[in-house]
Structure 1
Amino acid sequence: MNIDLPLWPCIYGSPFATGSIRSRPEDFIVIENLSFEPSGNGEHAFLRIEKTGENTEFIARQLAKFAGVRQRDIGYAGLKDRHAVTTQWFSVWLPGKVDPDWTQLHSDNINVLHVIRHARKLKRGALSGNRFKITVRDWHGDQAKTEQQLEAIKAHGIANYYGLQRFGHDGHNVNKALAMFQGVKVGREQHSLYLSAARSFLFNQILAARVADASWDQALPDTVYMIDGSHSSFKSEHPDAEIVGRLAEQSIHPTAVLCGIAKPAYNLNAVEQAVIDSYPALVQGLIACGVEMDRRALRINVADLHWQFVSNTLLVLEFTLPAGCYATALLREIIVFK
């Protein structure tokens, strides 16, 4: 079986414009917001680094080499794209050691903005969200209708699709996951990437089905809901007026399963089960690899959304998304990428 990525449906109709993103790194600016304040004391040096045209793991390797520590002594909260200007935090474990001269790391692509100590290693996911500033070049379309879509996004949020970058070049990582499940040997880094691609594909398929029947932000029987701004969740077998009201005010969101070893507390609803039944090789492969079931919100709120048409062909957007969410999930609602 070979799986091609479909064109997952949009929430607010088809985009009324085309445009290019990532024409240059500074067109895609990301600023990471930690979910806590470093204490100022401890064995871990926390570095706030601005990087241009480099991925997170490359910076982590550079830090380990520069500080003379093991790769596993480096921490970071999230992976950031290479083709961007991103500001993110790293931690370096330096027990009983003074900080090296971090300014020696400065280059055209790396800039150390701030250093502070903390007691614990920076863990994956320790973010409150990410702030984006995105420039869309060569924009052509209907400005009035695009602004209507942006107003709808500001008011009602977006579908929480995984971005295409999750699936590798031309989406091939899903099929590489299938090959891995069938016995093809891969490296540890690729193993993790392929597992993520397989699970993300299944989630997007479930979300697409909910978008298609207009239930992506609605209460259904046997649904697990996630509280906005957290990973806390609860199940409701039969939605009542309170659930409907909280959904309308966007303080909770419906979720879909992230496939893996089943947790007995949450049974699957009919939409989830239908998608899972359609891709048994992916599901069984994830289970065989020991991936645990989880949940992900189908909808996310977009905070502090602002936009400006700088010219007839240049659109600049600024907004904040929760950790783990993709700016391209917003952009795909308003432009077709060139």
Structure 2
Amino acid sequence: MSDPASSSVSWPPNWHYVAGEPAAAGDYRRSPEDFQVEEVLDFVPEGHGEHWWLWLEKRGMTTPDLARLLARAVDIPVRDVGFSGLKDRDAVTRQWFSLALPGREPPPGWEAGLVERGVTCLQAVRHPRKLKRGVHRANRFRLIIGGETIALPATRERWDRLVQLGVPNYFGPQRFGPEGRNLHRARQLLVRGWRKRQDPHGLLLSTARSYLFNSVLSARVADGTWCVPQPGDVLNLEGTASRFAATEIDESLLARAEAGDLHPTGPLWGRGRLESLGEVAERETRIVARCPDLAEGLVQAGANHERRPLRLRLRDPEWQSAGDTVRLSFSLPRGAFATSVLRELFRHPTLV
């Protein structure tokens, strides 16, 4: 494996595409209804308990903003509001929230403030426990795309290839903020020395790790090894948190990777042992070392080394032509970005 040209912390990035940069431009998210996201849990609330679980639909609002609105509506501290994942602001999203209301019901008229902000309560049910972060299994996306890309057979060919091969698991542009501002803020903070009070939710730490991960993934997309196991890779079993280091790659592992049963992983940088081995580990270290402010800052901040799959599989993918638009639907595991799928299909200023 050889590395592309040396890089540094910069924006916009030059992360590689599976089939080269798309030739045609496209549109998406022209209205919130064009970008719909639905959270998928592996369980259902039990119907009793101290926590009141709400299945809510929102538009034009971040998940934390809705959590604060709910806290005010039922007069509880915002720390007693639970949710699993952060959903897009400029979209129609449906997700669960939990409110700690032991022994009491919400006050009369609690929904009024939500309705004024365009939030709809689709279901309310009790459950014994607070909803924890990161417990949802997946997100289901329903998207409408338009523009010149729709008329090109190459766009459908790119989609079919993604369905068959998978999608590079890049962190999406929303992680880095408009024009990469979160990335520049992260670098400045890490150079000074990370302090929790300046990054209470760890957003900037996550931004720095995401940039380094994308850099490693881009190098492997460039030489075609992002979905093909290499000696020394840490391999992730599809749909699970299980992973193992493979010192040798035999035909069985290659066949399982081709079938989408397992995926190479890349580093979420931090302190601790790098799980990959040999040339894979050396290459990851070389690429990350090009951004020493981020890499060393993450270690000093105490972020622990983790791994993330380099590839996504589209679950239940659908393509429906509808005049001058196309309707796409698919499911992705939590932590994956629909914008990483769209950037492989067409050009758009926000899809870096």
Residue 133 of structure 2 is matched in structure 1 by 124
Q: 2:302 aligns with which of 276, 290, 294?
A: 290
The Cα of 1:328 is off from its aligned counterpart by 0.7
- Cα 1:240–1:336, aligned 2, differ >3 Å: closer, same or farther? same
Q: Distance in 2 between matches of 1:264 and 1:302?
A: 28
Q: Cα deviation per residue 1:305-335 (whole Å; 9 max; x = unaligned)?
A: 1122322x32221111111100011101111
The Cα of 1:180 is off from its aligned counterpart by 0.5
Q: Cα deviation per residue 1:87-136 (whole Å; 9 max; x = unaligned)?
A: 01111112232344554333351001111111221111111111111111
The Cα of 1:209 is off from its aligned counterpart by 0.4
Q: Cα deviation per residue 1:267-307 (whole Å; 9 max; x = unaligned)?
A: 56232111122122111111111111111000010011112
| Residue 31 of structure 2 corresponds to residue 20 of structure 1 | no
| Residue 168 of structure 2 corresponds to residue 159 of structure 1 | yes
Q: 1:94 aligns with which of 95, 101, 105?
A: 101
The percentage of counterpart residues that share the same residue type is 37
Q: When the two structures are superposed, what TM-score results if normalisation uses the length of structure 2?
A: 0.90
- Cα 1:16–1:144, aligned 2, differ >3 Å: closer, same or farther? same
Structure whose residues are more often strand by fraction:
1
Q: Which runs of 4+ in 1 moved over 6 A?
A: none
For residues 201-280 of structure 1, what are the structure 2 equivalents within 5 Å?
Answer: 201-263=211-273, 267=277, 269-280=281-292
Residue 313 of structure 2 is matched in structure 1 by 301
Q: Distance in 2 between matches of 1:284 and 1:277?
A: 9
Give the CA RMSD over aligned residues. 2.0
Q: Cα deviation per residue 1:180-213 (whole Å; 9 max; x = unaligned)?
A: 0122778545762211110000000000000011
Q: Which moved more, 1:179-188 or 1:1-10?
A: 179-188
Residue 124 of structure 2 is matched in structure 1 by 115
- Cα 1:264–1:158, aligned 2, differ >3 Å: closer, same or farther? closer
Unaligned runs of 5+ in 1: none
- 3-state DSSP class of the match of 1:130? strand
The Cα of 1:48 is off from its aligned counterpart by 0.6
Q: Distance in 1 between matches of 2:200 and 2:208?
A: 12
The Cα of 1:138 is off from its aligned counterpart by 2.9
Letter of the 1:317 partner, please give it.
L
Verify the 8 A CA contact 2:9 2:291 in the aligned structure 1. no
Q: Cα deviation per residue 1:225-264 (whole Å; 9 max; x = unaligned)?
A: 1111112211111122221121111111110010011147
Q: Distance in 2 between matches of 1:167 and 1:214?
A: 25
- Cα 1:187–1:22, aligned 2, differ >3 Å: closer, same or farther? farther
Unaligned runs of 5+ in 2: 1-7
